Amino acid sequence: MNPAALKTVGGIHLEFGLIFWHAVDLTRSAWLMGEQNRKTSSIDGLSLDLAGNANYPTLN
């Protein structure tokens, strides 16, 4: 394999790796933001998740 082709393959591989990690990072930050929203929007033990569904505390 000549160095130019090797460089291209490596570049493509690197590009996909960066795209993959970017997607992971976006997912993680979206999850963290959701967690933050969940913590801050709980009113008297009633918290709203991302879909807007009410999570009532279980009464034992």
Residue 17, classified by CB atoms within 10 Å of its CB into exposed (0-12), middle (13-18) or buried (19+), is exposed
CA dihedral 39, 44, 45, 46 (to 10 degrees): -80
Q: Report the C-alpha gap between 38 and 54 in whole angstroms.
A: 11
Higher-confidence residue of 29 and 46: namely 29
In tens, the pLDDT along 6-31 reads 666 666 677 777 777 778 887 888 77
Where are the domains positioned within the chain?
A: 3-55
| pTM tops 0.85, yes or no | no
